[in-house]
Amino acid sequence: MTLDEAVPLAAGPRRRAGGDPVKALLHRHRVLCEQAVDPLEIAAGLEAHGITDRTAARFRHRDVFSLAEELYARTPRGDEPAVPAAGGRADARALRGFGYSLLPGAVALAAAAAGVPYAGPLAALAALAAVAAPVRPGAGPREAHGRAAAAAVYLLAAAVAGWAVHRHGAALGVCLALAAAPAHLASAAFAARARRRLAASRALEDFADGARPLLLGCVAAFTAAAAGAALLTGAPLPVAVPLAVLLFLARLLLGHGAPRRPLAAALALALVPAAPAAAAAAAGLLVLAVPVLARASAHARP
């Protein structure tokens, strides 16, 4: 069922004067509007349901953000106090998350330096920990069987990292584990800046135009960090950098609720025993990430 079928009052200009299309929309998305902590949450949720700036014009609004502000203002909230600011708590979580992101590299370096047997697989598992614990700034769209699909993605990521370390040596595993810290910093910086951009935007297209260069800059910064980790550990650059970028993009997309099937397909491609496979898989994920992470709904608070 389309939006126009669900809310027929908004179908044409002759019927606007005789009804309240916004009230019908408020009823349809009552749970979203009641649970939102600010109009931005409603705007992101409406976009996730397919409502665009053009659709908002049928509700007598210039864009989805303006429509969301009216929905937020018209939603009854009782006498519950406003959600308090949690800046200090968020800062503590960010510091704790960065501390955790240092652990994979520390474990991998210690195992390699001590000459521990199976240091390579251990380093690969440490690197996988960074993918399995992505930054989660928003709810984003979810597939129907999200948990099972996410488990398949994690298993494929483990297979990719393990297979690559088996073929190219323990240095590659240490490199991937060391890349966990810059991956955390880059993804957290992207999430924070995208959220600020969302707060300053007045149209979905405006937000997307700003989010795309933010994403590309984030990927470029991480790519440079991954190259540095490869040089530090002696891992082969043509193998280590595409593989690190592939795992980083998988982490970023998982953290923003991207569909799991394209993620799984890209990781499966990286298992092909050919030199360009990881680079092609990383390029495919980047193509997926540009439209997905330029959507406001990918940056809504959970």
Residue ranges covered by each domain of the chain: 3-74, 87-299
Q: How far is CA 79 from CA 32, 76, 82, in A?
A: 18, 9, 9
What is the phi/psi pair of residue 82, to 5°?
-65, 150
What is the pLDDT, as a whole number, of residue 136?
53
Return the sign of the alpha-carbon dihedral for residues 95, 137, 62, 32: negative
Please give the Cα distance from 275 to 94 (Å, whole number).
36
Please give the Cα distance from 288 to 177 (Å, whole number).
24
What is the pLDDT, as a whole number, of residue 74?
87
Helix (H) or strand (E) holding 43: helix 39-48
Model pLDDT for residues 98-123, shown as the tens digit of each residue: 888 888 888 888 888 888 888 888 88
> How much is the pTM?
0.77
Crossing angle of helices 180-200/87-113, nearest 10°? 160
Model pLDDT for residues 204-249, shown as the tens digit of each residue: 778 889 999 999 999 999 999 999 999 999 999 999 999 999 999 9
Please give the Cα distance from 12 to 126 (Å, whole number).
57
Spell out the per-residue pLDDT of the chain, length 302, in tens. 444 444 443 333 433 434 678 888 888 888 888 888 878 888 888 888 888 888 888 888 888 888 888 888 888 865 444 444 445 565 677 777 788 888 888 888 888 888 888 888 888 887 777 776 655 544 333 443 456 777 888 889 989 998 999 899 999 999 999 999 999 999 989 988 998 888 777 777 788 899 999 999 999 999 999 999 999 999 999 999 999 999 999 989 988 888 888 999 999 999 999 989 999 999 999 999 999 999 887 876 65
**Nearest Cα to Cα of residue 162 among 196, 202, 112, 128:** 128
What is the pLDDT, as a whole number, of residue 300?
67
Please give the Cα distance from 19 to 81 (Å, whole number).
32
Virtual torsion, Cα 126, 247, 266, 284, nearest 10 deg = -170
Burial of 2 (0-12, 13-18, 19+ CB in 10 A): exposed
Contact 71, 25 (CB under 8 A): yes
What is the pLDDT, as a whole number, of residue 234?
94
Return the sign of the alpha-carbon dihedral for residues 161, 166, 168, 169: positive
**Nearest Cα to Cα of residue 260 among 180, 175, 116, 144:** 144
The conformational region for residue 118 under phi > 0 = left, psi -120 to 50 = alpha, else beta, is left
Contact 135, 70 (CB under 8 A): no
What is the phi/psi pair of residue 87, to 5°?
-60, -45
What is the pLDDT, as a whole number, of residue 149?
76
Please give the Cα distance from 7 to 210 (Å, whole number).
32
Question: Please, how many CA atoms are within 13 Å of residue 26, restricted to the half-sphere of its CB?
Answer: 16
Please give the Cα distance from 246 to 287 (Å, whole number).
12
3-class DSSP state for residue 271?
coil
What is the pLDDT, as a whole number, of residue 100?
82
Contact 271, 243 (CB under 8 A): no
